[in-house]
Homo-oligomer: A and B are copies of this chain.
Amino acid sequence: MKFSPLLTQLIESLRCLPGVGPKSAQRMAFHLLERNRQGATDLADSLSKAVNEIGHCQQCRTFTEQAVCDICSSPKRQASGLLCVVETPADIVAVEQSGQYSGRYFVLMGHLSPLDGIGPDDIGLDQLESTFAAGGIEEVILATNPTVEGEATAHYIADMAKSFEIRASRIAHGVPVGGELESIDGSTLAHSFAGRRELE
């Protein structure tokens, strides 16, 4: 004997969440059924809406339910001539919180990782190249994570930028090496932006 079919199905479904094993899935299912059915209903709605409506911004690739996100739609951002390249949508939030930057973004949704078969097109570099070609960008600020892959990705994009005569800079180290950009406080990030240096 196990749980009823629907309860078994709920426990199985919860395991699609990262870091959720059989025991926590069971605990979550019981908690929702016993104490928070409204929360479960809201979560079901949010999941359906998110899956059906959230895609990637046509310009910067961040997650959004609009064709073009708010930042990309801003004429002031467009006019800045600055493009900041980050690995994930969460990195945009971290950079915005530093208050040091008011240009546009480009979200790679990852980084180059040849061993995992992740090449330039998988992180949207074909699209980034078109953006470079379209003009209007004076400097690309490389804010990928300070990991081996993040550095390699930054250098790859810097080379691309130079072929379009666009200045490429890397945010200053100050961000602890091996750390993840999204967990760094605003003032450290502000420091990193101010101390950025041009890549040779």
Contacts and interface: CB of A to CB of B under 8 A. Distances in A.
Interface of A: 1-7, 9-10, 12-14, 16-19, 23-24, 26-34, 36-37, 39-51, 53-54, 63-66, 69-71, 88-90, 92-93, 96, 109, 183
A7 B63 CA distance: 8
A110 to B, nearest CB: 9
Nearest to A54: B6
Nearest to A96: B1
Chain A contact residues: helix, strand, loop or mixed = helix
Contacts of A66: 4
Given A17-B31, A31-B18, A10 B50 contact: yes
Contacts of A34: 109
Contacts of A69: 4
Copies, count = 2
Given A1-B71, A1-B92, A89-B30, A37 B63 contact: no
A30 B93 contact: no
28 contacts: A2-B93, A3-B93, A4-B64, A4-B65, A5-B65, A6-B46, A6-B65, A7-B64, A7-B65, A9-B49, A10-B49, A13-B45, A13-B46, A14-B17, A14-B43, A14-B46, A16-B39, A16-B43, A17-B17, A17-B31, A19-B28, A30-B90, A33-B51, A34-B109, A40-B50, A44-B44, A44-B45, A44-B51
A47 B2 CA distance: 19
Contacts of A50: 6-7, 9-10, 29, 32-33, 40
Given A34-B109, A53-B6, A48 B44 contact: yes
A43 B1 contact: no
Contacts of A2: 93
B14 A18 contact: no
A10 B47 contact: yes
